[in-house]
Amino acid sequence: MAHAYCQTPSGHTNTRATNPPTTSLQNVINTVFSTIADTLAKRAQRRALMRLSDAQLSDIGLSRSDAEAEYRKSYPL
C-alpha cells in the first residue's frame, strides 16, 4: 500500500494511506463472488461424494442414501 508523508505544524511526520478505503460497492461485489465460489466448491465436493463407492462411503460413516441426500442440496448448474 502506498503512503504519503506530511509534516505537521509541530514537526511530527504522519503517514496516511493514499489509496481510498474499500467502498461499500467493493464489499458487495467481493461478497457476491465469494458466495458464488463457495457454492461452486460445495457442489464439486458433493459430486465427488457421489463418485465414492459404497465401501468408501461406509469408511467415512455415510450410506449411499446419505450421499444422495447431500447431493440433492446442490444447485442445478
Higher-scoring residue by pLDDT: 17, 56: 56
Write down the pLDDT at residue 74: 79
The grid cell for 2 is 502506498
DSSP letter (8 states) at residue 11: S
pLDDT over 90 (residue 77): no
**How far from the centroid of its chain's Cα atoms is residue 10's Cα?**
46
Higher pLDDT, 35 or 13: 35
State pTM to two decimals.
0.59
pLDDT for residue 23? 82
- Interval 21-58: pLDDT, tens: 668 999 999 999 999 999 899 999 999 999 999 999 99
